[in-house]
Amino acid sequence: MENEITTSPRRWLVHATACIRRVPSVLACAALMCLAYAQAHAACMGTTVTSPFLPATVSISKTTGIGQVISSATITVTVTCDDTGLRHPSTNGWALNYTPQTPLVATSISQQTFATAMPGLGYRMYMPDGNLIAPTSYGTNGGDNFGANCMGAASGGVPCTMPLGTSTQTFRFRLDLVRTSTVLTSGTFSDSLMRFGYQDSWTGGSGPGPWTAQFGEQMTSPVTFRFIPPSCNLSAGTANQVITLPKISASSLPTIGSTAGATRFGLTLENCVTQSIVTMNISGDATAVGSVLRNNGSAQGVGLQMLNGGPAGTPLPLNADVGMGNVGAAMTMAIPLGVRYYRVGPVTPGTVDSVATVNFNYN
């Protein structure tokens, strides 16, 4: 978006008053009034152009850190100034300034990040030399001056790196969109973030003069955020398994609570969101022993017990959540399990057959 500004009409009225005092002719006065307005208009003119943010679609997940840059763009500001309207054009020039369009929030200064109107989203701005322009506690919404404070100066008197008289400068600011809190999940953002302007750098004291009207707003291109919830896929090779245990004799289970025939199997989660917290729940028809599945076969006094960690692992409670830990950088999780016979009462020969369903939750 491009914008161009003119200076305040109050300067035009001041020139008109001087004209009336010095030139009796109304016609001549009108001509001088037009000339004065044209000169004031030429004090500073500027344009702003903002490139599209890239990427234009941003995926947010629980691993998107606070302070992490998620999209970037460039603002190009071109300014031309002369000494018209300066109170002391021989010693000072125009100072350029920027004004954020959203007030500071509590974390702005500590995060060196300007706020936006979208909760959880801020931005950082950098000069062409790569220096970060951080919010201040004294400027409007954290704004400040930038560049050399001598655009349009007619002669020396201040350290000035630009040619005297009319001068043009182009500034390119990098904008980085930043996640500032976990409330940022999904939505679309497009807004004016900055206004750029100029002011007389001389006050007769230590600071610059009042701020003028500015060059207008820059508008960003839309950025869409989508939240990726923590999740995993169960690998095809470990889904819908049938586990076959070895045949045993009744003497292998001499007493209630005896176990035998422990057999290994496992599940593998893949395509996970890194750092997802995995919880497993094995549901099934439990016996009075909360970790033993009821037998649907013909044998009596025997059930099947699920084990966490493999054949030598610990019993897994049925119909209860069990934490399995966090998914690592490889975005997969191998879960070793086991199952074994468990005596729950007087044993008679027959078959043993039980069914369990494994559910996973992610946070």
What pLDDT is stored for residue 210 in this prediction?
57
Dihedral, CA atoms, 110, 114, 119, 121, nearest 10 degrees? -100
What pLDDT is stored for residue 202 in this prediction?
72
CA distance 22 to 358: 95
Residues 6+ apart with CB under 8 A from 254: none
Please say whether the beta carbons of 234 and 269 come within 8 A.
yes
CA distance 311 to 266: 10
> Within 13 Å and on the Cβ side, how many CA atoms surround 46?
31
| H-only helix segments in the chain | 9-22, 26-41, 108-111
**Exposed, middle or buried by CB within 10 Å (0-12, 13-18, 19+), for 98?**
buried
What pLDDT is stored for residue 146 in this prediction?
83
- Walk along the chain (363 residues) and give the pLDDT tens digit of each residue: 333 333 333 332 222 223 323 333 333 333 322 222 233 335 788 888 899 999 999 988 877 889 999 999 999 999 888 888 777 776 678 888 888 988 888 888 989 999 999 999 999 999 888 999 989 887 788 888 887 777 777 765 555 666 667 888 899 999 999 999 989 988 999 998 988 888 887 766 555 555 555 666 677 888 999 888 888 999 989 999 999 999 999 999 999 999 999 999 999 999 888 778 899 999 999 999 999 999 999 999 999 999 999 999 999 999 999 999 988 878 899 999 999 999 999 999 999 999 999 999 988
Helices and strands in the chain, H and E counts: 3, 22
Q: What is residue 140's DSSP assignment?
A: G
Residue with tokens 């020139």: 15
Q: Which of 26, 22, 35, 28 is nearest to 12 (CA)?
A: 35
Q: What is residue 199's DSSP assignment?
A: E
| Domains, the chain, ordered by start | 40-228 (2.60.40.1090), 233-362 (2.60.40.1090)
- 3-class SS at 20? helix
End-to-end CA distance of the chain: 42
Backbone angles phi and psi of 140, in degrees to 5: -60, 120
Burial state string for 135-145 with b = 16 or more CB within 10 A and e = fewer than 16: beeebebbbeb
Q: Rounded to two decimals, what is the model's pTM?
A: 0.60
In tens, the pLDDT along 146-177 reads: 877 777 777 655 556 666 678 888 999 999 99
In tens, the pLDDT along 28-87 reads: 333 322 222 233 335 788 888 899 999 999 988 877 889 999 999 999 999 888 888 777
